[in-house]
Structure 1
């Protein structure tokens, strides 16, 4: 990375919580010539193993845990390294990772459950639930003046929120006065560190509750007309407020009751209990190609309760837990013999929900559609769904073939290393080799 600074190489605001192009390689599974018999015997992952060995042995990361599975079968697990560099405790299936934007598909599926319950409509106007979002104003120029505004031409809908097409902004994406306005209002994304790096992170203090977050957001102008542009945003955080209003329960309580408990996700939280700190990994910032402790486990900001549960980037989870979520998706709503979501809700949530005429071309979701909080494949790549996180994690499910795959490690920014694309590529390479061996 040469002489790039800590500011621009480690914590650039565009990199902070963005997910990489994770499905480009993973979705290429659709072109591989293997059949069901080959899939049933997949279990050897030399390319994935080499990827983990290379990164950990070179001390680029402290650890790497890869989890791959088929249908409802137990996963194959490749685990390398320790919870922190120089520490003795090995990383594994039950280690705890900050999954950041991999929270978004969970919030998306929670939203789909309320649509399934007929308590929400996919194209229902947001203002019917949160009246403050009626009569929104829009910047005439994206990231331009916040004084030169025009009325919204159509209402924000639940579909728009799920797909980042509501016209909402993100303080880690926007520039200029709208970015500053978001920070002043506490409309900021998830947490990173207790270290005094506020100026570098370019964020203000979070609003004190989801209600305050939503109310403050409603007073800010939109960055684009609703339903016209894919722009990464706080929309999944706002859906947390929608969920608690519609369900009558706190957002985190709804997730626990409807998803985490039924799925046996016993290690997924917005706030890591003190009793579990021995499983928490350390998060690193990559400085001139070297990892430096950014959020040490025993001093982690995730040991403090959050201002509110961030539905866009707030969860800590284990590889075992997230695999259970993916296993439910490839089971079209079932995990083992238990139905958690309807098949129709899963199929809809993992399909392309972008409004007509909206494209992801030129964005970091380029070449794909977008579903309920995650990227979806199109054409031959249809059936894939997933997203990545700011600290290097990445996960996807191929519902057509029953494959689920996830990679866990901890470094920022995610784009310091190409793992969001390298991991799906390694999975694809191993499956191609398996297919070739069986033809």
Structure 2
């Protein structure tokens, strides 16, 4: 869900994990882009059981929920381990998980719904909704004659657009990792301190320097936090109220929210292993403490049941149970790579979509096999995202299939995701 590490080393490790996914032994021969109509082998799906039972027995994760659906029917639905090693309460479909950056696709859908309703335009300048962004500057690192580094400030060559926020091309970065002067300036601004509202948090972001000019680089950052405030201004209500009214309630997502005010909700929270409890997202991850700020980049909590409903809607191109949530045009825009070679947009060193993937709005989009030999498993057109807490989904339109993984494990999330994806595609009989 959301942010990565407070230091460069873990982010570098995350990049390595993507590379391992692309090139290591987890990528099985013959699993890339399987032919349409492939069917799941139930005996091969049972290998998923062995994998999760093994890592739980080793004490690496407390538990997990895995769900796979193809052509409208569940083909695999298992609960492993416990939601909390302290209480030993079992994993269930109503266990509540911190989504971290898996929040971002939900925010992107809310934006595209407002675009459909004519209340937002992708080319609108962000300053139209948050005037403070009219004065935002780009921080440029320079050196004095004595070699000392300092920040110079450039005016924007063009305004930040709503589409820039969706694509992480706004120039807005995170300040809790890296050692350049812009990131240090963001960290020094203490933007997460206190109890800001969405409006106040957006104002804080507008006052810190951008890492680069808008539209030039995919750079993971607080763009989706700013989108939460844009949605409030465009919709005329709070971010959560809009999502609840237009998306969560109609989809039947009764347990998706930013905070857990009730004791019963708190008791259903999944907890990571005690020695793996630091989500390393630059701020405390405590949905049990109710605050004003609703983080569009990483604040949602949800259950397997709710996330499955949302991902099923994505597989059906923005429609579910006879109700359309996104127009065909909006869904196509959301699931199209906008940062490919012809876009002129460079990719940051920490490019989290990974090898072989472009980026739409809130979703990685599989555009090619990638550079690894053999390529990692999957299909062209695949959609995916995950979060620092370990929650993860993959949508494969070609196979009319999706799978959802719900877990809380900052340190093990990528090895688990990588192995699960390998096992899923190995179970597709060619």
Mark yes or no: TM-score above 0.5.
Answer: yes
1:405 equivalent in structure 2: 403
Q: Does 2:211 match 1:223?
A: yes
Q: How many residues in Structure 1 have an aligned counterpart in Structure 2?
A: 400
Deviation at 1:402, TM superposition (A): 2.1
2:364 equivalent in structure 1: 375
Query: CA 1:174 to 1:11, structure 2 compared with 1: closer, same or farther past 3 Å?
Result: closer
Q: Does 2:176 match 1:172?
A: yes
Q: Does 2:221 match 1:233?
A: yes
Query: 1:391-411: CA deviations, max 9, x gaps?
Result: 122112123332111211112
CA distance in 2, matches of 1:43, 1:246: 50
Deviation at 1:30, TM superposition (A): 8.3
Structure 1 residues 305-324: aligned runs within 5 Å: 305-324=290-309
Q: Does 2:332 match 1:343?
A: no
Assess if the C-alpha contact under 8 Å between 2:358 and 2:367 holds in 1.
yes
CA distance in 1, matches of 2:224, 2:38: 39
Deviation at 1:86, TM superposition (A): 5.0
CA distance in 2, matches of 1:293, 1:165: 28
CA distance in 2, matches of 1:359, 1:375: 15
CA distance in 2, matches of 1:245, 1:164: 20
1:275 equivalent in structure 2: 264
Q: Does 2:270 match 1:284?
A: no
CA distance in 2, matches of 1:339, 1:71: 19
Query: 1:28-61: CA deviations, max 9, x gaps?
Result: 998444433626x879623322321221121111
Deviation at 1:352, TM superposition (A): 1.0
Query: CA 1:18 to 1:395, structure 2 compared with 1: closer, same or farther past 3 Å?
Result: farther
1:390 equivalent in structure 2: 388
Assess if the C-alpha contact under 8 Å between 2:217 and 2:348 holds in 1.
no
1:6 equivalent in structure 2: none
Structure 2, unpaired ranges of 5+: 370-378
SS of alignment partner, residue 303 of structure 1: coil
Query: CA 1:341 to 1:91, structure 2 compared with 1: closer, same or farther past 3 Å?
Result: same
CA distance in 1, matches of 2:61, 2:332: 36
Structure 1, unpaired ranges of 5+: 1-8, 189-204
Deviation at 1:105, TM superposition (A): 0.7
Query: 1:165-185: CA deviations, max 9, x gaps?
Result: 100010233435433433454
Assess if the C-alpha contact under 8 Å between 2:31 and 2:425 holds in 1.
no
CA distance in 1, matches of 2:285, 2:219: 30
SS of alignment partner, residue 405 of structure 1: strand
1:428 equivalent in structure 2: 425
Structure 1 residues 88-167: aligned runs within 5 Å: 88-141=88-141, 147-167=151-171
Assess if the C-alpha contact under 8 Å between 1:129 and 1:246 holds in 2.
yes
Query: CA 1:265 to 1:108, structure 2 compared with 1: closer, same or farther past 3 Å?
Result: same
CA distance in 2, matches of 1:139, 1:398: 40
CA distance in 2, matches of 1:293, 1:157: 34
Q: Does 2:37 match 1:36?
A: yes
CA distance in 1, matches of 2:400, 2:238: 33
TM-score normalised to the size of structure 1? 0.81
TM-score normalised to the size of structure 2? 0.83
CA distance in 2, matches of 1:404, 1:29: 19
- Out of 243, 249, 268, the position equivalent to 1:255 is 243
Query: CA 1:301 to 1:31, structure 2 compared with 1: closer, same or farther past 3 Å?
Result: closer
Assess if the C-alpha contact under 8 Å between 2:44 and 2:426 holds in 1.
no
Assess if the C-alpha contact under 8 Å between 2:60 and 2:273 holds in 1.
no
Deviation at 1:66, TM superposition (A): 0.9
